Structure 1
């Protein structure tokens, strides 16, 4: 899968793609990362890409000419790619969107803003706007890298086991269950016995119950309509927590 970043700071993208799992994916040919700098399409000798906003106001706005030229150049390289502008006004990134991108196998062109944002006319060359949360950053590079990192996890071969991505928090609609490794005892705290007894049916039940518990306590908004098994497990959880409080 190919990720092309339209960015004023390509070194930030290149540096981030040069480490850990993404680097291994690039080296293996599973992921391709490239950048186009809008400054290369600026018409003046100063390579100006921004200007003051009409109507006044603080900050600078990215000009449409170099940005649209950069998008056109990107589409020449990846004609079937989806063009996504990273900006606070877009739909908020969720795991379902990540999986949508990954399963479509469509290459992504990620347009990174800066300063006070884009000239509105740029969006005529964009397929959608995307946000990573209800806050504002200094640029779109970090959000764009988040998109690549999240999507790349679903590309076969990027992770050691595809189950690692499928079982992660949010992929099941719940937060992830607690994980443990050796040693069995650390400063008096033991790994739960159920995880050491080799009974995979009990392990699966424990993990599902712990995931439900974590979600109910920390992100109840994620709990939709539960099936009978999950509803029974959640009732057990509430009863246990009540007992702990009363005891």
Structure 2
């Protein structure tokens, strides 16, 4: 049985698994470590045109995805996976970070509702206790790309996906890792000299204590310049 199952509600099921068909995520999908299904929202549309949206009460620009259509699609997903938690990519949501990804993984069964147009009827969020998630301070045409981002972040952390689990401990944002939740230090490989630029001497010194100190200092320096907010609780 898969460690994680995702039901994805979308107007564009052909967009999945997308990039998740490849590399480590694709291998994990083939092995059954995680699984997914797409639910075509258009199947629940009303009238002969299968409409899924309508004009907003109270006026405003753009169309809103209907509560009855969305509710029917969520109910179908929950009929197969009744313990699923519903997530909705939205600019209003919690900012996606490492901690939130860990919380989502713990759910085991999830529904990702991919919005379109101006958004979804608020009553759906209330009815299903939907958690809204933002992947950044910008607006996409729909929730599908955000859903792929969320799933990619999750899948790579599942047991058995990354063969060398130690590599996960040396990444940015990992609170229990080498950089204590800060940004990763600069990385280098061969050739030693490239276009007049050499690898820092400490990396080839063989001096483990100096190397450890250099990595920590570089991590702090980069974090202070680029993400000083991460230093607040350090």
Under a length normalisation based on structure 1, what TM-score does the superposition of the two structures give? 0.85
Match of 2:224 in 1: 216
Partner of 2:209: 201
Q: Which has the larger radius of gyration?
A: 1
* Alpha-carbon distance, 1:7 to partner: 0.8
The reply on whether 1:23 has 2:31 as its aligned counterpart is: no
1:29-83 per-position Cα deviation (integer Å, ceiling 9, x unaligned): 1121221111111232211101111222211110111111111111122222211
Matches within 5 A, 1:61-210: 61-102=64-105, 104=106, 106-123=108-125, 124-171=127-174, 172-210=180-218
Deviations 1:4-40 (A, max 9, x none): 2111111112323222222111112112122111111
- 1:26-41 aligned within 5 A: 26-41=29-44
CA distance 1:73–1:211, change in 2 (3 Å): same
SS state at 2:21 partner: coil
Counterpart CA distance in 1 for 2:38 and 2:19 is 12
Q: Is the partner of 2:16 in helix, strand or coil?
A: helix
Tell me the residue number matched to 2:48.
45
Q: Does 1:3 align with 2:3?
A: no
- Post-superposition Cα deviations, 1:208-247, rounded to whole Å, max 9, x if no partner, equal 1111110011111110244xxxxxxxxxxxxxxxxxxxxx
Contact kept? 1:173, 1:223, Cα under 8 Å: no
Give structure 1 stretches of 5+ with no counterpart.
227-247
Is the CA contact (8 Å cut-off) linking 2:98 and 2:173 kept in structure 1?
Answer: yes
Contact 2:20–2:152 (Cα < 8 Å) also in 1 = no
Query: 4+ residue stretches of structure 1 with deviation over 6 A?
Result: none
Instruction: Please state which structure has a larger fraction of its residues in helix.
Output: 1
Q: Is the 8 A contact 1:80 1:107 kept in 2?
A: yes
TM-score (norm 2): 0.90
CA–CA separation in structure 2 for the residues paired with 1:164 and 1:44: 52
Go from structure 1 to structure 2 and tell me whether the alpha carbon gap of 1:160 and 1:203 turns closer, same or farther (over 3 Å shift).
farther
Number of equivalent positions: 225
3-state DSSP class of the match of 2:25? helix
Alignment root-mean-square deviation, CA: 1.6
Give the gaps of 5 or more residues in structure 2: 175-179
Aligned residue in 2 for 1:14: 17
